[in-house]
Structure 1
Amino acid sequence: MDPRYDDSDEEEQSEETTTHDGSDQEEETGDSTTGLIETYIDTNDYQFDWVTGTGVEMADVGGLDEVNEELRQDIVRPMREEPKKAERFDIPLPNVLLHGPPGTGKTYLAKALATELGFPFVSLSGSDVTSKWVNESADQVGQLFDEAEDLAEETGGAVIFLDELDSVLPERELDSHGEDRKVVNEFLSHLQESARKRVLFIGATNRRDDLDKAATRNGRIDKEAYIGEPDYDARVEIFRVQLARRPNSLSESELEDLAAATEGVVAADIESMVNQAARNAAYGRNGDQIEFQDLKHQLN
């Protein structure tokens, strides 16, 4: 499976590693887009795998136009494009929760947002943070945010994406293990301070109701977006995006036929269909482009 639609029930994909070319912000002229100054950042001493490129852009995300626009207005513009205006209006940076069924594109969307921002980015799953060793989990959380704050100070911002958030911030019970409570408390304390330090936290989960209620209150995670099964129009757009960079002969009416025939599927399923159709076109029948029949065959 291509990493673009991996979610918490899927095997985690390895992140692309690149040399950090962080950026400092120049003085804005009015409300124009912020100028960027490339700087070199040595990450050899960092424990977590910070990258500056994910290979995914907002234009690659299909079927989530409304969510994309909200994220652009609430995060990209104040954090990257017009920070002076955000400062003048005292607009805080919201941490984000993406929730919904597996395979709907939560991880892919987070990567696209990170690319749009251009700041150092780290992608983790809950199992990367939790540990069987006593006291280590809370220390891992502290180390993660310490590194993010250091990078944000150098580059102007940093982005943390954590999948399987419910495994790190589960609802605390009276009889829960003391170490579990310590991890949750450590995380909550950092979430409350992250916006002030220009660290954007994005969490994703398939189980929204299992999260500790203190984590989802305003001041910690301020913005939530439900990423559900795509409707008909969204499925048309996902097929279009998936095929855009591949040679194909599909007409708009054929895309609509495919969307109508795939009710109930998620973005990851559509991507898998297109990938297999591409293999069939290239190697199965030695064609020079993907045709409608290649995709229609996948419906079976």
Structure 2
Amino acid sequence: MSRSPSLPERPRLDLDPDMSPDERLEALREHFEEVIQVNAKLEEQLDTAQKRREALTGEVDSLERENRTLKSSSLYVATAEEVLDDGIVIKQHGNNQEVLTENAAGIDEELEAGDRVAIDDSFGIQAILDPETDARAQAMQIDQSPKVTYEDIGGLEEQVQEVVETVEDPLSDPAQFKTVGIEPPSGVLLHGPPGTGKTMLAKAVANETDATFIKMAGSELVQKFIGEGAKLVRDLFELASEHEPAVIFIDEIDAIASKRTESKTSGDAEVQRTMMQLLSEMDGFEERGNIRIIAATNRFDMLDRAILRPGRFDRLIEVPEPDWNGREAILQIHTEDMNLGDDVELGTIANKTEGFTGAELSSLATEAGMFAIRAERTEITMSDFDDALQKVSEEDNTNGTPIAFA
């Protein structure tokens, strides 16, 4: 333990009565300087003492918190199974032990069956906990809408109309379905080759509607441990029901909804359990209210028949490769902000790009711009598009189908 620093000696003033006025003044001046020096030392010692006191106060507070933590007992998580007049039946997590405990003072009116609660060693309920929701599910909720609109999607007018009728209309005007006397469609499945605009359609829905948009990839639902994937699916739909109206978008749904086989491996069995949970949640749409689901896949032939039946996906929308009109519309969209030369004919480019998808046409426009930059020009000419097409032809030596390029 450190000792307190010793105080400086107090200066004293002894004046001789026989001193002259000048000598007396000089003695007073010297005494004043000594007082100033002693005062400075005392202020320094006081400042040090205050800092030491603050450090000791913080250490005492930390020790008191640690002491309270050591003295207090841990709380355990349980679920209130039944709320009775004379008590509450709780089930402790981990050992599934059921106990009848007394009503909790102060929170018995708020407590409902199914609530998660914190209990002490005597099984007394200390607090009501928030519902358990997987953090991974919350991370899939999109807070900012994408900037994609229906005008940014070319050549898919029919598909856009069907998506609007299936997803948007039931959320924005459900009364018209009641007037007609039909149940609104609950889900739509988009299928077609890669790069044809399936994900862009989902982004446009997220932008055009005020509903909560939850996006996930099918591979994210494939988990390692038993029950993890099914729990994540359940949490996702609970999150949607808490924020309805809501739209759930599952990209690459074939990752968990492929045809069931006789495989006995634990991995395949877990994927099938996850799919069973997904089917169960989709069947509960009528009870869940304003929730719609959109799914997309490149492998429609791999999907299990159970997920394709009406009531789960009421609309199966094919998103094919664009025809000539579609290719021209897509090129117009992607070249709208480009500085095109007078010789550029989008119709001619559309003729030369048969078999191209929307993503490949977007890359083609970008590649043409790169050729213009390489030539140190700000205007993109028809020759730049021809060079870009030539590059694609040289890179593709398989079956004549265009490939996406960077």
Shorter-chain TM range is 0.7 to 0.9
Structure 2 partner of 1:184: 275
Residue 142 of structure 1 pairs with residue 230 of structure 2: no
Q: Which amino acid aligns with 1:189?
A: S
Q: 1:124 aligns with which of 205, 213, 216?
A: 216
The Cα shift of 1:221 comes to 0.7
Structure 2 partner of 1:293: 383
TM-score (normalised: structure 1)? 0.76
Q: Is the 8 A contact 1:52 1:118 kept in 2?
A: no
Between stretches 266-275 and 49-58, larger displacement belongs to 49-58
Q: Residue 244 of structure 1 aligns to a residue in which SS?
A: coil
Structure 2 partner of 1:108: 200
Instruction: Give the 3 Å change call, closer, same or farther, for CA 186–139 of structure 1 in structure 2.
Output: same
Tell me how far apart the structure 2 counterparts of residues 116 and 150 of structure 1 sit (CA, whole Å). 21
Tell me how far apart the structure 2 counterparts of residues 102 and 294 of structure 1 sit (CA, whole Å). 26
Q: Which amino acid aligns with 2:255?
A: S
Structure 1 partner of 2:349: 258
Amino-acid identity (%): 32
Trace 1:41-52 onto structure 2 (pairs within 5 A): 46-52=138-144
Q: Is the 8 A contact 2:166 2:184 kept in 1?
A: no
Structure 2 partner of 1:93: 185
Instruction: Give the 3 Å change call, closer, same or farther, for CA 250–162 of structure 1 in structure 2.
Output: farther
Q: Is the 8 A contact 2:190 2:318 kept in 1?
A: yes
Structure 1 partner of 2:340: 248
Structure 2 partner of 1:84: 175
C-alpha root-mean-square deviation of aligned residues, in Å?
Answer: 2.3
Per-residue displacement from partner, 1:63-117 (whole Å, max 9, x unpaired)? Answer: 111111222233323322x232223334313301011111111111111122122
Q: Is the 8 A contact 1:51 1:122 kept in 2?
A: no
Q: Which amino acid aligns with 2:224?
A: K
Instruction: Give the 3 Å change call, closer, same or farther, for CA 244–118 of structure 1 in structure 2.
Output: farther
Q: Which amino acid aligns with 2:250?
A: L
Tell me how far apart the structure 1 counterparts of residues 256 and 136 of structure 2 sit (CA, whole Å). 26
* Unpaired segments ≥5 residues, structure 1: 1-42
Tell me how far apart the structure 2 counterparts of residues 206 and 69 of structure 1 sit (CA, whole Å). 21
Q: Residue 200 of structure 1 aligns to a residue in which SS?
A: strand
Q: 2:255 aligns with which of 137, 143, 167?
A: 167
Q: 2:366 aligns with which of 263, 275, 294?
A: 275
Instruction: Give the 3 Å change call, closer, same or farther, for CA 77–250 of structure 1 in structure 2.
Output: farther
Between stretches 287-296 and 158-167, larger displacement belongs to 287-296
Per-residue displacement from partner, 1:228-255 (whole Å, max 9, x unpaired)? Answer: 111111111111111123333467x811
The Cα shift of 1:183 comes to 0.8
Tell me how far apart the structure 2 counterparts of residues 45 and 59 of structure 1 sit (CA, whole Å). 31
Instruction: Give the 3 Å change call, closer, same or farther, for CA 162–57 of structure 1 in structure 2.
Output: same
Tell me how far apart the structure 1 counterparts of residues 148 and 139 of structure 2 sit (CA, whole Å). 24
Instruction: Give the 3 Å change call, closer, same or farther, for CA 45–221 of structure 1 in structure 2.
Output: closer
Structure 2 partner of 1:158: 246
Structure 2 partner of 1:11: none
Tell me how far apart the structure 2 counterparts of residues 160 and 45 of structure 1 sit (CA, whole Å). 11
Tell me how far apart the structure 2 counterparts of residues 71 and 160 of structure 1 sit (CA, whole Å). 14
Tell me how far apart the structure 2 counterparts of residues 203 and 250 of structure 1 sit (CA, whole Å). 42
The Cα shift of 1:147 comes to 1.0
Q: Is the 8 A contact 1:52 1:120 kept in 2?
A: no
The Cα shift of 1:204 comes to 0.9
Q: Which amino acid aligns with 1:101?
A: P
Structure 2 partner of 1:22: none
Q: Residue 190 of structure 1 aligns to a residue in which SS?
A: helix
Tell me how far apart the structure 2 counterparts of residues 45 and 161 of structure 1 sit (CA, whole Å). 13
Q: Which amino acid aligns with 2:232?
A: Q
Question: How many residue pairs are counted as aligned between the two chains?
Answer: 251
Residue 54 of structure 1 pairs with residue 143 of structure 2: no
Structure 1 partner of 2:158: 66
Q: 1:227 aligns with which of 297, 314, 319?
A: 319
Q: Is the 8 A contact 2:221 2:256 kept in 1?
A: yes
Per-residue displacement from partner, 1:161-197 (whole Å, max 9, x unpaired)? Answer: 1111111112222445432221111000111223552
Q: Is the 8 A contact 2:371 2:388 kept in 1?
A: no
